[in-house]
Chains A and B, each alone.
Chain A
Amino acid sequence: MLKINFLILCGLICFLSSHAHRFNVDIKLQPPFVIIQAFFFAGQPVSNALVTVYSADDGSNVYQSGRTDKAGYFVFIPDKQGDWYLLVDDEKGHRRRTNILIDDVFFVQGDEEVDFINDTDDEEDVDPVYIHKPVEKEIPIYYRMIFGLALIFGLTGILYGIKVRQSLKK
C-alpha cells in the first residue's frame, strides 16, 4: 500500500513539475510583431526584466535581447517560422523560459497588413490579434493550495503514525 501511495505521489510530482514556471508570460502575436508581457504571480508587471530571444532553427544563437518596459512589455519581429523560445529574467533570482510557435499564417498576415506606428489614417483597418495559447492548462491557484495543504497534512499524519507506532513497539 505504501509503495502504491509513493508511486501516486511520484506521478503527481512529475505531472506538476512539467508545468514549471515562476512568473507568467503572456504572448500576443500581432503580425509582424510578437508582443510579450511578463507579470508576477499577483499580476504586477515585471519591469526592466532581461529578455533573450532564441531563433527557431538555432536555439543556441541569440536572435535579440533587451528589457521589458515599465508595464512588462517586450516586442520583437521574428524572421522565420518555427518554434522560437525566449528567456525572461528579472535578475533577482526568477526566470521563465517559454516557447512560441510561429506558423505560416503569421507571415501571411504580416505581409498583408504591415502596420506603421504613425499610420493613423486608416483606423478601421485593425490588425487581427490572436493570442498564443500555451499547451498546458493552468490549475487554479486555490486548487493547488488545497492540494499542497493536503500533501503537508497527509505527510504529517503518516510521520505521526510511524512515530507513535515506533514508541508503542518500545
Chain B
Amino acid sequence: MHISDGIISLPVSVAANAVSLGLIWLSGRKTGADEIPGMGMTGAALFVVSLIHFPVAGYSIHLGLFGLAGITLGRRAFPVIFTVILFQTLIFQHGGLLAIGINAINMGAGAYAAWMIWQIKHLNEALRAIAAGFAGVFVPASFMAVEFRISGYGSGIFLLLSIYLIAAVIEAGISFTAVKFFRRVKPEILPG
C-alpha cells in the first residue's frame, strides 16, 4: 500500500505533501499531554505490525491497523500515521520519500473512515469494530486504485482491490478481536 516515487506525478506528490502537513496541523493541534503516550504506543504498534507480511494471490501484503488507530485515536490518528509512514519509508524503504504525503493521505483516510464508523453509536459495537477495521484497509486501497487509474499506471483497479479485499477482511477480524479485548481489559482506551 506504500506507493513508490515516480508513480504519482511530481506536482501531485508535492501538493499531497503540503495537504498532509496541513492535516497534521489540523488533526494535531491542541493535543493534550495525556493523549501523547497513547499516540506513541499506537504509532509503535503500527510501525511493528507492518513487518507481518503474508502472501495473497502471488503478491505480498502486510498489516496496517489503520482502522484500529482510527477507533482509538480519532482525528489524532493522522499525525501518528504520517510519522509512522515517514519512519517506515526511511527505515524499511516502504514507499518513496516524495510519496509520503500521498501515502499518508490514503492511509489517513482509512483511519478517518474508521473513526466515523466508530461514531455511529446506534450500531452494535462488534459490527462497528468489524466495519472500521475493514474500512481502515479498503478505503486506502480504493484511494490508491483511483490514483493509479488517473495516473494510467498499474495492472488494473479490480486486481488491486481484490488483493486488498482479503487484507481488509483479515484486519476486520483483528479489529473486532482488539476491541473486544480492550472492552474487557481497559475500556477507557475505546472512546465513546
Contacts and interface: CB of A to CB of B under 8 A. Distances in A.
A and B pair up: yes
B55 A44 contact: yes
A47 B58 contact: yes
B97 A145 contact: no
Interface in A14-30: 16-17, 19-22
Contacts of B32: 163
Given A16-B91, A22-B94, A155-B83, A95 B36 contact: no
B93 interface: yes
Given A148-B87, A151-B87, A152-B44, A19 B93 contact: yes
Nearest to A165: B33
A97 to B, nearest CB: 9
A41 B92 CA distance: 9
A159 B24 CA distance: 14
B2 interface: yes
A80 interface: no
Contacts of B33: 160, 163-164, 166-167
B60 to A, nearest CB: 4
Given A13-B90, A47-B58, A152 B43 contact: yes
Interface in B81-97: 83-84, 87-97
Interface in A104-120: none
A156 interface: yes
Interface residues of B, number: 48
A160 B44 contact: no
Contacts of A166: 33
A70 to B, nearest CB: 8
A160 B155 contact: no
B154 to A, nearest CB: 5
A144 B88 CA distance: 10
A152 B83 contact: yes
Contacts of A128: none
Nearest to B90: A16
A42 B87 contact: no
A152 B44 CA distance: 6
B47 interface: yes
Given A16-B91, A19-B93, A40-B60, A92 B163 contact: yes
Contacts of A92: 59, 154-155, 159-160, 163
Contacts of A123: none
B141 to A, nearest CB: 10
Contacts of B153: 91
Contacts of A149: 44, 47-48
Contact of B60 (A17, A41, A151): A41
Contacts of A90: 59
B51 interface: yes
11 contacts: A17-B97, A91-B153, A92-B160, A141-B51, A141-B92, A145-B48, A148-B88, A149-B47, A155-B40, A159-B36, A167-B33
Interface of B: 1-7, 31-33, 36-37, 39-41, 43-44, 47-48, 51, 53-55, 58-60, 62, 83-84, 87-97, 144, 148, 153-155, 159-160, 163
